């Protein structure tokens, strides 16, 4: 069993919530269907019912959106129900499978639609590129820098606190791993902290935290580092799964090549 897969039970919880959302939306949908024609490089919308079809003016764009959402909801629910049956079967057999096989086909329900319909729809599962874009665009406040902090910048132009953090950030960037620097996280034992890096495990669509402990030769620092790892574990962020740790200090130097190998293994990067 691969330990990094989102458990089937969790996948079912997510999928069932999406099915509930789509079902509620479908119940509120108007009758009829939407037909889109292009004229002079502009989309024109028509409401088709059993009595014929009528033009939808720009002021009634909400109707076109509801009709487009309706057809999307139907296709989404049909596929989601099949995937749920598949997941329930796997659960009964005590099997595991990556959430990738849930997210990818559900995202295609939206991504394979014509652009004119996509602009009218609220998708329940975004394609990877849009999901990453939305994840990275979320605003947040990291920790402030002081005059004593060194001026070190990543290849992405972000300021970090050490050369080792630059190496880490540049490695994520080179491998195409979406990341945030010092994004806040609440841990029940110690309150709000700012992990060095928050990574996106795109296949499973869940978060991985990475902490770099760079002064392990200092006994007090080392004790705080171990305590922090325990606090992560207490909230269900286990080392090697949703928590990755790197270390250096004294004669022990951070091993970039070994770290990359660990990272590729954890995120199934070839």
Q: Which of 71, 106, 125 is the last residue of a domain?
A: 125
E-assigned strands of the chain?
Answer: 33-39, 42-49, 52-56, 152-153, 159-160, 179-181, 185-187, 191-193, 197-201, 206-213, 243-247
**In this structure, is residue 222 part of a structural domain?**
yes
My answer on whether 225 and 181 are in the same domain is yes
Please give the tally of structural domains in the chain. 2
My answer on whether 182 and 94 are in the same domain is no
Per-residue pLDDT of the chain (270 residues; tens, 9 = 90+): 356 899 999 999 999 999 999 999 999 999 999 999 988 888 999 999 988 999 999 999 999 999 999 999 999 999 999 999 999 999 999 999 999 999 999 999 999 999 999 999 999 999 999 999 999 999 999 999 999 999 999 999 999 999 999 999 999 999 999 999 999 999 999 999 999 999 999 999 999 999 999 999 999 999 999 999 999 999 999 999 999 999 999 899 888 899 999 899 999 888
- Provide the pLDDT for residue 39: 83
Please name the residue that has the structure tokens 């970039």.
256
My answer on whether 142 and 217 are in the same domain is yes
**In this structure, is residue 1 part of a structural domain?**
no
My answer on whether 141 and 67 are in the same domain is no
Q: Which of 81, 100, 125 is the last residue of a domain?
A: 125
My answer on whether 81 and 152 are in the same domain is no
My answer on whether 97 and 172 are in the same domain is no
> Per-residue pLDDT tens for 190-246?
999 999 999 999 999 999 999 999 999 999 999 999 999 999 999 999 999 999 999
My answer on whether 140 and 121 are in the same domain is no
Give the whole-angstrom CA distance, residue 155 versus residue 133.
18
Give the whole-angstrom CA distance, residue 37 versus residue 54.
12
- Provide the pLDDT for residue 38: 86
Q: Which of 125, 151, 181 is the last residue of a domain?
A: 125
Closest by CA position to 180, among listed 139, 150, 226 = 139
My answer on whether 168 and 216 are in the same domain is yes
Give the whole-angstrom CA distance, residue 215 versus residue 106.
45
| Domain carrying residue 98 | 8-125
């Amino acid at each position: 069993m691969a330990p990094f897969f989102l458990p089937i039970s969790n996948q079912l919880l997510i999928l069932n919530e999406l099915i509930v959302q789509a079902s509620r939306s479908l119940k509120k949908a108007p009758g009829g269907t939407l037909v889109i024609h292009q004229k002079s490089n502009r989309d024109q919308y028509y409401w088709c019912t059993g009595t014929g079809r009528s033009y939808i003016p720009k002021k009634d764009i909400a109707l076109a959106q509801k009709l487009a959402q309706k057809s999307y909801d139907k296709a989404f629910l049909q596929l989601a129900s099949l995937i749920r049956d598949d997941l329930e079967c796997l659960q009964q057999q005590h099997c595991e499978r990556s959430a990738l096989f849930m997210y990818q086909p559900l995202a295609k329900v939206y991504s394979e639609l014509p652009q004119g319909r996509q602009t009218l729809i609220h998708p329940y599962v975004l394609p990877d590129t849009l999901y990453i874009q939305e994840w990275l665009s979320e605003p947040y406040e990291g920790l402030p820098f002081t005059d004593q902090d060194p001026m070190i910048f990543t290849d992405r132009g972000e300021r970090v606190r050490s050369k080792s953090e630059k190496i880490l950030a540049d490695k994520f960037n080179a491998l195409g791993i979406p990341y945030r620097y010092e994004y806040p996280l609440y841990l029940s034992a110690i309150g709000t902290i700012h992990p060095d890096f928050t990574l996106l495990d795109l296949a499973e669509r869940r978060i991985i935290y990475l902490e770099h402990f760079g002064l392990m030769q200092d006994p007090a620092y080392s004790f705080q580092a171990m305590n922090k790892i325990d606090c992560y574990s207490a909230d269900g962020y286990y080392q090697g799964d949703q928590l990755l740790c790197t270390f250096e200090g004294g004669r022990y130097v951070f091993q970039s090549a070994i770290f990359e190998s660990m990272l590729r293994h954890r995120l199934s990067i070839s």
